[in-house]
Amino acid sequence: MSPKLTNSVLYLMSTSAGLIVANLYYNQPLLHQMAVTFNVSDSAVSNVALSTQLGYAFGLLFIIPLGDKISNKKILRVDFFVMVLALVAAGLSNTLFLLIASSFLIGFTSAIPQLFVPMAAALSDDKGRGRAIGIVMSGLLIGILGSRVISGLVGAQFGWRIMYYAAALLMVVLFVLLAYKLPKMKPTYKDSYASLMKSLWFYFKTEPALRVAALRGALAFAGLSAFWTTLVFLMEDSFGYGSGVTGVFGLFGIAGALGATVVGKMNDKVSKNKIIMVSAILILVSWFVFLVSAQSLIGLVIGVIVVDLGLQGLHITNQNIIFSKNPEARNRVNTIYMVGFFIGGALGTVLGAFAWQHYAWVGVSVLGIVLSALIIVVHLIYRNKAY
C-alpha cells in the first residue's frame, strides 16, 4: 500500500522540484557575462543553455523510467552526488567547452524533479490528482522563473561562477531533507532495464493522447525557450541592461506560475479541451505582445505574465491527461512527455539564437507566433485523440 500524501510532503516535493530545476536556468541571464569571460559570440555561448536542456532531455529519458523499477531514494543518492560535482565543475570551468560539458551533466541530473510529479499523482486519489500535480508543478515552475531572478542578481553582484557554487551547496542541504522526509516508493516493475526502456516505445506507439500532449508541450516550450535565451541580448541592445534586470523578469513570470495550482484544481472540474484551447490562445497572444514590445519594458512584462499563464495551463492539463492512463507506468509516460517537451525547448534555443542573430527581436517574435499557432493547429486536428 502506498504511503499517504500529506500536505507537508506535497509541499516539500513542490519546493524541491523548484530548487532542483532552477539549476537548468541559472545560466540564461548570465550568458552575456559568460561570453565576455570566454571572449566568444552570443550565439556561441547560447550552447551553454542548449547543452543544459539536452542534458535534461537525456536525464528524463534514461533516469526517470527507473522510477517504475528502483526505489526513489536510491535514485536520489546517486543523482545528487553527480549533480553537486557537475555544479562545482561548471563554476571552475576555464574554457567554454568545459562549461558546456558540465552544463550537460547539470541538466542530466536535474531531471530528478520529474519523479515527484508522477509520485504526487500516484499518492493522490482521482479527485485530488489535479490539485497535487498543480502544486508540484507550481513549485517547479516558480523555480524555473525564480532561478533567473536569483542568478541575474548574483551574477551582477558577484559574477556568474558564484551562482554555481551556491547552487552546489544548496543541493547538499536539499538532499539531506529529502533523504529524511520523502516517502519511499516501492516500484512494481520487475524486468530488466533494457525491457523497461523498450516499453517506452510501446506506450508511445499505443497512446495517441500521449503523443499529442508531447507535441503540444514541445511547441509551447520551444517558444518559451527562444524567448528566455534571447531576452538577455535584447535587454543589452535595446535598453543597456545587464543580467540583473533580465533576471528580474522572472518575478513577473512567477505571477503566471502561481496560477498552476488554480489550473490543477480546474482540471478536476472543467473540460480539458477548453483549458487547452484557452491556454494556447494566451500563448499566441503573448507573442504578438512581444512583437510590438522591443522598445517597451511594460509590454515585455505583460507578455511574460501571459505566456507563463498559458504554458502552465497547457502543461498541467497535458500531464493530468497522461497520468489518468497507465497508472503502473506513470514515470515512463511522464518520460515520453517530458523528453518531447525539452527537446522542444532545445530546438527553441537553437532557433531563437538563429533568429536573433539574423533577424533580431522581430525574428524571435515571428518564430514564437509560428510555434504558438502550430499548437492550436495540432490540437484542432487531433483533438479527438487527445484524451
Residues near 148 by beta carbon (within 8 Å), at least 6 away in sequence: 25, 26, 28, 29, 228, 246, 247, 249, 250, 253
DSSP H helices, the chain, are: 7-21, 31-38, 42-62, 72-92, 96-109, 116-123, 129-158, 160-181, 193-206, 208-234, 243-257, 259-267, 272-291, 297-323, 330-382
Question: Looking at residue 221, what is its pLDDT?
Answer: 92
pLDDT of 137 over the 80 cut: no
Task: Report pLDDT digits (tens) over 9-58.
Answer: 888 999 999 999 999 989 888 888 899 899 888 778 888 988 998 898 89
* Percent with pLDDT over 70 in the chain: 91
pLDDT given at position 106? 97
User: Does residue 136 belong to any structural domain of this protein?
Assistant: yes
pLDDT tens profile 194-212: 998 999 999 999 999 999 9
Cell matching residue 377: 493547429
| CA end-to-end distance (rounded Å), the chain | 28
| Cβ(299)–Cβ(292) below 8 Å | yes
Instruction: Estimate the crossing angle of helix 96-109 against helix 31-38, to 10 degrees.
Output: 150
Domain presence at residue 1: no
Gap between the Cα atoms of 207 and 209, Å rounded: 5
Has residue 190 been placed in a domain? no
What's the average model confidence in pLDDT over 153-171? 92
pLDDT for 244 beyond 90: no
Give the number of other Cβ atoms within 10 Å of residue 37's Cβ. Answer: 17
Q: Which stretch of 88-92, 123-127, 129-133, 149-153 has the lowest confidence by average pLDDT? A: 123-127
| The predicted structure's pLDDT at residue 366 | 97
Q: Which amino acid is at 243?
A: S
For residue 53, the tally of other CB atoms under 10 A from its CB is 27
Confidence of residue 153 (pLDDT cuts 50, 70, 90): confident
- Average pLDDT rounded to a whole number, residues 297-318: 89
Which pLDDT score, from 0 to 100, does residue 85 have? 97
User: Has residue 268 got a pLDDT over 70?
Assistant: no
Q: Is the pTM of this model over 0.85?
A: no
Alpha-carbon distance 3 to 123, whole Å?
A: 7
CA–CA dist 386, 375 (Å, integer):
13
Query: Which stretch of 73-77, 233-237, 372-376 has the lowest confidence by average pLDDT?
Result: 233-237
Task: Give the residue among 165, 161, 153, 143 at the shortest CA–CA distance from 25.
Answer: 143
Mean pLDDT of the chain: 86
Confidence of residue 133 (pLDDT cuts 50, 70, 90): confident
Count: domains in the chain: 1
Residue 2 domain-assigned (yes or no) = no
pLDDT band at 232 (very low <50, low <70, confident <90, very high): confident
Domain extent for 295: 7-182+195-385
Asked if residues 130 and 142 have their Cβ atoms less than 8 Å apart, the reply is no
Taking 90 as the threshold, does the pLDDT of residue 233 lie above it? Answer: no
Contact assessment for residue 137 and residue 130, using Cβ atoms and an 8 Å cutoff: no
Is the pLDDT confidence value at 316 over 90? no
Looking at 39-159, list the stretches that DSSP marks H as alpha helix, in order from N- to C-terminal side. Answer: 42-62, 72-92, 96-109, 116-123, 129-158
Looking at per-residue confidence, does 332 or 285 come out higher?
285
Asked if residue 178 is part of any domain, the answer here is yes
pLDDT over 70 at 97, yes or no: yes
For residue 121, what pLDDT is reported?
Answer: 76
Separation between Cα atoms, residue 299 and residue 52, nearest integer Å:
29
Q: How high is the pLDDT of residue 78? A: 94
Q: Residue 135 domain-assigned?
A: yes
**Which residue bears the cell 543544459?**
52
Asked whether residue 29 is domain-assigned, the answer is yes
| pLDDT band at 142; cut points 50, 70, 90 | confident
For the segment 247-262, the average pLDDT, to the nearest whole number, is 68
CB 191 within 8 A of CB 316: no
d(CA 330, CA 163): 34
CATH label of the domain that carries residue 241: 1.20.1250.20
For residue range 339-380, what is the model confidence (pLDDT) as tens digits? 888 789 889 988 998 999 899 999 999 999 999 999 999 989
Chain segment 52-66, per-residue pLDDT in tens: 988 988 998 899 898
Determine the residue type at 55: G
For 196, the grid coordinates are 523497461
Residue with cell 484544481: 265
**pLDDT of res. 1:** 46
Residue of 218, 20, 201, 4 whose CA lies nearest to 122 = 4
322-337 confidence digits (pLDDT tens): 887 777 788 889 889 9
User: 3-class DSSP state for residue 213?
Assistant: helix
> In terms of Cα–Cα distance, which of 211, 200, 229 is closest to 345?
229
Query: What average pLDDT does the segment 115-125 reach?
Result: 79
Give every CB contact of residue 229 below 8 A, 6+ residues apart in sequence.
28, 31, 46, 49, 348, 349, 352, 353
Q: Measured between alpha carbons, how far is 93 from 72 in angstroms, rounded to an integer?
A: 31
Q: What is the pLDDT of residue 265?
A: 65
